[in-house]
Amino acid sequence: MVLVSVGVVVGLQVTGYLFNDQRIIPPVSSVELDEIQDESSENPSESGPPPMLNLTEQLKEVPGIKNIRYEIFVSSESMDQVLASYTNELENDGYAYHEEYSGMQTYHSAEIFYHAFAKGLNGVVIFLSEYNQQTWVCYSTGNVLQYQQIFEYMTSHGILH
């Protein structure tokens, strides 16, 4: 019985259903963040930095966020194209899209769309917003239970509305 239990746990771990360290996947078409920041300093007509950067700065103080890996990308593709590409790649890796944990929230009058994928205890949440005619992507990976705690904290403390 112990041998079977160990075999099942090892099998789940190897196939990525337990504590898998999912890689960060950049969008198919990405623009260098440095180029964007150089352009915005040359053309200060936009009011402040992109909401996605402000949000990720504010999230650094949320309990449990240090357990989530994330990276910010900028893409020249539309949000629909970026989401379709990620959905295809993640579903091919065995992740399931969870519409009930996906949606849109506002952050300082900007619309931030989030899309959740899960495979066992592993989660991927992709945040998307448009700013200056480009799609801003925050690709994050972590444990689904940690995501749940972070989301509850963010909504109860008014970070997302």
pLDDT value for 59: 82
**Mean pLDDT score across all residues of the chain:** 80
For residue 83, give the amino acid letter: L
Does the pLDDT of residue 121 top 70, yes or no?
A: yes
Does the pLDDT of residue 99 top 60, yes or no?
A: yes
CB atoms within 10 A of CB 149: 15
Structural domains present in the chain? 21-156 (3.30.310)
pLDDT tens for 31-85 read 766 555 555 445 555 556 788 888 888 888 888 888 899 999 999 999 999 999 9
Comparing 21 with 124, the larger pLDDT belongs to 124
Nearest one of 107, 14, 121 to 52, comparing CA atoms: 107
pLDDT value for 156: 86
Instruction: Write the DSSP string, 92-154.
Output: HTT-EEEEEEEEEEEETTEEEEEEEEEETTEEEEEEEEEETTEEEEEEEEEEHHHHHHHHHHH
Gap between the Cα atoms of 80 and 60, Å rounded: 27
Strand order, beta sheet including 96-107: 69-75, 134-143, 122-131, 110-119, 96-107
**CB neighbour class for 70 (10 Å; exposed up to 12, middle 13-18, buried from 19):** middle
